[in-house]
DNA sequence: TCTCTCACTTC
DNA sequence: TGAAGTGAGAG
């Protein structure tokens, strides 16, 4: 069975659509906390059993074979299995409700997205990619210590797909290392020119991992995609942390935030101490001055240490047990590769909590909420609060994905990706399926003349990129957004835009005259390819300051994917069998992360 | 809600 | 040594 990302969704597309940005009918406001897995297999496949406690898995035979066309059956002789690393850590975050900070200058994800791959054909070459798609069509707010739906989502940001900088590499190389996507950066800057992944704040997202068997990035648009989703990596993008527990978890686990750990000598304590010291110091200085004026002095009173001793201990809302030593200076590598340590940390974290009564917690959190509102009022942004629906998302919605609510650690099942069966996407299909485009209508000739299409640089307008604010305005209400989406789907228009040239730190784009032009017209992503990649792409094809191609909304994410996701039995990694299409604008690092292999001379060990 | 600066960290 | 990655906090 195959589908095309630009064709109207099929009835069975609901579940994946939920994850890919299309609002699923069962994921509406109240009580929408169905497990993602349930969403995945429940909507379109009514006869599909849900994995009870993560153990029972629908037999693959009960699902339509998610492979692509027959020709791809032949093409794919491998059987990739993907395992998410740091599942313990992801699980800890997921239980609370993972938040990822997005900034204008770009922020990394933490926990980092890392996978371990097996089942590759050792000799074949693969391209590994990652993208982040909207998990639903909702905007959220953090209210009363919970994430709640706060209305319809804002218009989608331009989609970008991140190609792992080692791509393409042989299966042997990929399998020899943990594939790390920590260089991927998140931003809320819609006009970002670095190739960062652009997200909307206060929206929920789901990272996806893709495997493409191809020996050349230029072949991406014609290649078969195998897509993997790890529900525990779902997160809400924020410009500032909302949940103190997430903040503390990040501080506890991210080496770069070590300075904020209570047990360290970090700035948090120092700054707090200084803040508390200020009045004391001022008084003391005053006192000293007065004494000086009176002709006397007190050396001891001039010793800052004495002032320090007079300052009460600073307590934070998420204070840790002072007895807990800070032995995590080894960095994330060690931390993330020792689940037992992570687990013990989790227990340690838990052990800190009992000192605080639930009521106190609620009271404190409510107070925090009040403080936030007060602050919001002060800054005159209360209107956003007045405009929410207050629809309550299942309070445990983050927890429900794979957690059966029992004692089973999230890790047990979180390691298993859920393949997203999709379909095969080839150029001819595009040709036969696209209709009604009025702008940059792809034609067969585009394919025939790949490589000879003139370079069309900056300046081509698109309502999906720089015009997005206008679109946002037009879609100021949910109906308009839906209408907008519908309009886009209905017209099947493929506006194209080549962004202006600009500095690119995270990635560079491919010279559009080769294949980018074609790609940019068909795929709702930016295609950004690193200039430093191996011998597979002629150096002449790269233009370091070249632009990514911004193409609008994720059509794939608008209901074109199929729903019959499935996963393997508990304890067994899921085999990739989804075949998506459509990459699109792909972002690639200029630095390599997995590596050391012969085909990746510039790579370095993780 | 968001942006910016700061002091701290890792690498 | 310095670039880059952190959350806190002010605005």
Three-state secondary structure of A263-303: CCCCHHHHHHHHHHHHHHHHHHHHHHHHHHHCCCCCHHHHC
Q: What is the reported pLDDT for A548?
A: 26
What would the two tokens of residue A184 be?
Answer: 């991927």
Give the pLDDT of residue A140. 97
Integer distance in angstroms from CA A390 to C1' B8? Answer: 39
**What is the model's pLDDT at position A367?**
40
pLDDT of residue A427: 25
Estimate in Å the CA A310 to C1' B7 gap, whole number. Answer: 23
Distance in angstroms (rounded) separating the CA atoms of residues A489 and A86: 38
Interatomic separation, CA of residue A319 and C1' of nucleotide C10, rounded (Å): 23
CA A175 / C1′ C1 distance in Å: 36
User: What DSSP character marks residue A123?
Assistant: S
What pLDDT shows up at residue A220? 93
Per-residue model confidence (pLDDT) at position A151 = 95
Task: Give me the residues of chain A with pLDDT under 50, please.
Answer: 1-74, 264-524, 526-606
| DSSP label at residue A330 | T
Q: For nucleic chain C, which protein residues have CB less than 7 Å from any of its atoms?
A: A 101, 106-108, 110, 183, 185, 240-241, 247, 250-251, 254, 256-257, 259-260, 267-268, 271-272, 275, 375, 379, 505
Strand B nucleotides within a 7 Å radius of protein CB atoms: 1-4, 7-11
Instruction: Determine the pLDDT at residue A361.
Output: 38
- Of the CA atoms within 13 Å of residue A234, those in its CB half-sphere come to 27
**If you search the block for the tokens 């779902």, which residue do you land on?**
A234
* CB proximity A142–strand B (7 Å threshold): yes
* Nearest residue: Cα versus C1' of B9: A256
Which chain A residues 230-249 have CB under 7 A to strand B? 238-240, 242
Judge contact between A273 and A311, C-beta under 8 A. yes
Q: Are A389 and A30 in contact (CB under 8 A)?
A: no
Nucleotide nearest to A202 (CA to C1'): B1
Residue in A502, A494, A496, A493 with CA at minimum distance from that of residue A460: A496
Q: How many other CB atoms are there within 10 angstroms of residue A263's CB atom?
A: 17
Q: What pLDDT does A196 receive?
A: 96
Give the number of other Cβ atoms within 10 Å of residue A241's Cβ. 17
pTM: 0.51
Q: Which nucleotides of strand C are protein-proximal, with an atom < 7 A from a CB? A: 4-11
**Strand B within 7 A of A188 CB:** yes
Structure confidence at residue A583 (pLDDT): 35
Question: Residue at minimal CA–C1' distance from B10?
Answer: A256
């Amino acid at each position: 069975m195959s589908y095309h990302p630009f064709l109207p969704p099929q009835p069975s597309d609901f579940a994946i659509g939920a994850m890919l940005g299309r609002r699923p009918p069962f994921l509406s406001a109240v009580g929408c906390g169905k497990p993602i897995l349930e969403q995945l297999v429940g909507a379109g496949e009514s006869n599909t059993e849900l994995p009870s406690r993560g153990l029972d898995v629908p037999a693959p035979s009960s699902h339509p074979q998610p492979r692509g066309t027959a020709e791809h059956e032949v093409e794919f002789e491998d059987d990739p299995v993907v395992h998410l690393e740091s599942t313990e850590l992801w699980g800890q975050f997921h239980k609370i409700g993972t938040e990822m900070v997005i900034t204008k200058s770009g922020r990394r994800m933490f926990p980092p997205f890392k996978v371990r791959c097996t089942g590759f054909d050792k000799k074949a070459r693969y391209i590994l990619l990652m993208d982040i798609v909207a998990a639903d069509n909702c905007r959220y707010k953090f209210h009363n210590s919970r994430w709640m739906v706060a209305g319809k989502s804002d218009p989608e940001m331009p989609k970008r797909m991140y190609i792992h900088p080692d791509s393409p590499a042989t299966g042997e190389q990929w399998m020899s290392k943990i594939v790390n996507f920590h260089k991927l950066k998140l931003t809320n800057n819609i006009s970002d020119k670095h190739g960062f992944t652009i997200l909307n704040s206060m929206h929920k997202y789901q990272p996806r991992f893709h495997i493409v068997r191809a020996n050349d990035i230029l072949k991406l648009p014609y290649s078969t995609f195998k897509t993997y989703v790890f529900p525990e990596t779902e997160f809400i993008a924020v410009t500032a942390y909302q949940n103190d527990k997430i903040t503390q978890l990040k501080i506890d686990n991210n080496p770069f935030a070590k300075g904020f750990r209570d047990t360290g000598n970090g700035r948090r304590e120092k700054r707090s101490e200084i803040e508390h010291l200020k009045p004391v110091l001022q008084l003391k200085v005053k006192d000293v001055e007065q004494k000086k004026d009176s002709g006397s002095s007190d050396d001891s009173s001039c010793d800052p240490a004495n002032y320090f001793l007079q300052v009460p201990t600073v307590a934070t809302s998420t204070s840790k047990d002072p007895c807990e030593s800070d032995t995590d200076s080894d960095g994330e590598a060690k931390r993330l590769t020792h689940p037992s340590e992570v687990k013990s940390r989790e227990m340690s974290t838990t052990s800190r909590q009992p000192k605080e009564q639930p009521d106190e917690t609620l009271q404190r959190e409510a107070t925090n909420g009040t403080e936030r509102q007060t602050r919001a009022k002060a800054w005159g942004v209360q209107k956003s609060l007045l405009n929410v629906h207050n629809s309550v998302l299942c309070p445990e919605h983050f927890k429900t994905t794979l957690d059966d609510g029992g004692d089973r650690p999230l890790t047990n099942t979180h390691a298993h990706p859920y393949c997203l069966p999709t379909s095969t996407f080839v150029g001819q299909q595009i040709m036969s399926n696209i209709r009604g485009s009025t702008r940059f209508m792809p034609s067969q000739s585009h394919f025939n003349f790949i490589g000879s299409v003139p370079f069309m640089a900056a300046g081509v307008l698109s309502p999906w990129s720089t015009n997005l604010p206008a679109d946002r305005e037009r879609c100021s209400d949910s109906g308009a957004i839906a209408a907008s989406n519908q309009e886009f789907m209905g017209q099947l228009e493929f506006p194209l835009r080549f962004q202006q040239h600009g500095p690119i730190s995270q990635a560079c784009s491919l010279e559009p005259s080769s294949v980018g032009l074609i790609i940019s017209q068909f795929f709702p992503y930016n295609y950004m390819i690193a200039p430093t990649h191996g011998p597979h792409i002629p150096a002449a094809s790269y233009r370091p300051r070249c632009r990514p191609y911004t193409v609008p909304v994720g059509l794939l994410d608008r209901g074109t994917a199929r729903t019959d996701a499935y996963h393997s039995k508990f304890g067994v990694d899921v085999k990739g069998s989804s075949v998506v299409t459509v990459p699109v604008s792909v972002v690639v690092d200029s630095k390599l992360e997995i590596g050391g292999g012969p085909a990746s001379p510039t790579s370095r060990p993780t």
